[in-house]
Amino acid sequence: MNPLSSPAEATPRQDQMREQLLSDVTACLGDALVESHINVGNDLCVRIATDAWATSAAALKASLGFDYFCFLSAIDWMPSPFGKGEEDPTAEREERSTEIKQGLAGGETRMQVFARLVNHRTHVGITMKTDVPDAAPEVPSWVSVFAGANWHERETHEMFGISFSGHPDLRNMYLPTDFEGHPLRKDFPLLSRMVKPWPGIVDVEPLPGGGDEDEAEGSAP
Amino acid sequence: MTMISDRQQLAYIASQAADARVNVELETEGMTLNIGPQHPATHGTLRIIARLDGEQVLWAEPSCGYMHRGYEKLTEVRTFPQVTALVNRIDWLGSFANEVPFILAAEQLMEIEAPPRAQHIRTILFELSRIANVSLFLGDLGVQLGAITPVFFAFRDREYVLNLIEGATGGRFHPNFDRIGGLKDDLPAGWIDETRAVMKKMRKFCDEIENLLFGNEIFESRTRGIGVIPRDVALQYGMSGANLRASGVDWDLRRDQSLPMAWDKVDWKVWTHNDGDSYARCWVRLQETRESTYIVERLLDTLPSGPVMTKVPRIIKVPEGEAWISTENPLGEMGYYVVSKGDLGPFRVKIRSASFNNISIVPWLLKGVYVPDIITILASLYFILGDIDR
């Protein structure tokens, strides 16, 4: 910890505020709230039951004033079978861990949809997550609650292959219509790394005799 | 080549006129107008497909993806310090501002904080990015309405600010200057005096734009009451920044959240407007640019001494965890949801860029407007293509 920083003063107040918020959210959502986590001084993270994903958003908007839609996306928790593409592609591939370990507020499935809402009066935000069933990756759509979720769900659909029931129009936004695969899934390889290892990796190897770290970081072209 | 006689031509015109009369009675079929991807009034490669009935838009939809570079995927194969070189290029006109939230998120996960002097300089450079970015918007505004002069003023005066950014960081557009734990370097000698002089020039530039455009009759008639966004619609589409404040929401992330930055060290004002139309959005941006020059001056007055880099390990490994940091960038709320698994690089980075949300309102907003207003509405929403597609 840096001696110059003093987060100790601000932390308890923030924490209390989020504890209070969590109890309000629990009262509002009831059984739909599966798990929660307070990231002290930063964020409140809640996990919602998949079936109640849209109704919970509507409830939070109506009763707790979370009326600002920030973003919606997904996380694929599977470790990438390709690593960071740092090693020689012709060499024997090393064993990698395939254990799926979810982040804050837990989870049971490989993929999770997560989104963020903010109360524009109190300026306090909440991160919401929900499990995406592995067999049929589909969650309820938020479009009827927040019109702005439309594009975010389209993007999530093409990048992760998660569909949103009740979404009016899940066309691709970025990829060609006949594109195969879902680029942000971890098992989708980054082709440029498959043909040639990333040269930038030498930058973070410890240099003999130290050296200036800024020089080693490389510069923008 | 066959010559068409006058008689034939008249007959043709008459038949066309008759068709037109019939179409009016039967409701016209409409026409699909494709604007872009390479159109002088679209700030890059945004393509808009509009279905028209006469001069009126029935529906319009932006078609994105001409600038998609897959940064969210690329961050997963980079180390934390390397990511700043990527995120620089999201909103390329205010690139230093893109680095800050990512670095803050990484610092939060590592539980370190930059020294006070670094926080101050970060905030100064952040505001300079805003001035450079929005001054181009203010000049560009005239071009969209057929007034060519303001853009020359904007390019001339923006250069002073870019020179300052280059002087401090070494890069005009892609500084890549922010580091986990502080900054790459301290400010060069003479930079502070130079900055004070440039801030005076930029205030003069704001006055010039205000005199040229904001009192102008044509400008007012083309923007007042056009493209009105009510506040509840703005909120549910996730509009942010000046677009949201122009709809009467008094919310600025610089003031309304506690970050290890220096905005809370000086006095400044958040500008809002209640109309929610194109004029309000432009007006709020103009006032914010002027306010930013004051913020920079006041921060220079209170600049603390000391180091600009805290102690960080030679090889940066970010502990396991998740952090969300967003800041008030020139275009609006720019945030990063960073998931780390304790490696050299992030496990997943969700980049929440302002323009993506700001543009997602376009299909709603353009419904029923007239064709010439498409351009002014898009200009007033102010987006950067790289910030939509990422």
The pLDDT assigned to B26 comes to: 56
Query: Cα distance from A47 to chain B (closest Cα, Å)?
Result: 14
- What pLDDT, in 10s, does the model give residues B347-387? 889 999 888 998 889 888 888 888 888 888 888 888 888 88
- H-helix segments, A65-195: 149-160, 191-195
Provide the chain A residues 75-114 that lie in CB contact (below 8 A) with chain B.
75-76, 79-80, 84-85, 101, 103-104, 114
For residue A76, list its beta bridge partners.
A111
pLDDT interval class at B84 (50, 70, 90) = confident
- H-helix segments, chain A: 11-29, 53-64, 149-160, 191-195, 213-216
Cα→Cα distances B102→A4, A215, B179, Å:
21, 21, 10
A21, A119 in Cβ contact below 8 A?
A: no
CA nearest B76: which of A192, A169, A161? A192
Q: Is some CB atom of chain A closer than 8 A to the CB atom of B73?
A: yes
Average pLDDT over residues A197-218: 53
Q: Is some CB atom of chain B closer than 8 A to the CB atom of A66?
A: no
Domain covering A13-85+101-204, topology: Beta Polymerase; domain 2 (3.30.460)
Q: Per-domain residue ranges for chain B?
A: 71-366
- What pLDDT, in 10s, does the model give residues A90-122? 566 666 777 777 777 777 888 899 999 998 888
Q: Is some CB atom of chain A closer than 8 A to the CB atom of B78?
A: yes
The pLDDT assigned to A220 comes to: 41
- What pLDDT, in 10s, does the model give residues A36-55? 888 777 788 888 888 888 88
Provide the chain B residues 135-194 that lie in CB contact (below 8 A) with chain A.
170-171, 174, 176, 179, 184
- What pLDDT, in 10s, does the model give residues B171-194? 888 888 888 888 888 888 889 999
The pLDDT assigned to B127 comes to: 92
CA distance A205 to B350: 27
B346, B249 in Cβ contact below 8 A?
A: no
| Nearest neighbour of A148 by CB, restricted to B68, B79, B360 | B360
CA nearest A106: which of B318, B337, B322, B102? B322
Q: Is some CB atom of chain A closer than 8 A to the CB atom of B315?
A: yes
Average pLDDT over residues B79-103: 87
What residue in B sits closest to A202 (Cα-Cα)?
B79
CA nearest B305: which of B199, B187, B194? B187
A38, A15 in Cβ contact below 8 A?
A: yes
pLDDT interval class at B151 (50, 70, 90) = confident
H or E stretch covering A75? strand A68-76
In the predicted structure, residue B312 carries a pLDDT above the cut 60: yes
Residue contacts between A and B (CB atoms, under 8 Å): 148
Superfamily of domain B71-366: Cytochrome-c3 Hydrogenase, chain B (1.10.645.10)
The pLDDT assigned to A2 comes to: 42
pLDDT interval class at A206 (50, 70, 90) = low
In the predicted structure, residue A9 carries a pLDDT above the cut 70: no
Average pLDDT across chain B, whole number: 84
Chain A interface mutation, best of B79, B165, B256, highest count of A Cβ atoms under 10 Å: B79
Q: Per-domain residue ranges for chain A?
A: 13-85+101-204
pTM above 0.90, yes or no: no
Tokens encoding A87: 């090693």
Number of CB atoms found within 10 A of residue B104's CB: 25
| Nearest neighbour of B364 by CB, restricted to A69, A147, A220 | A147
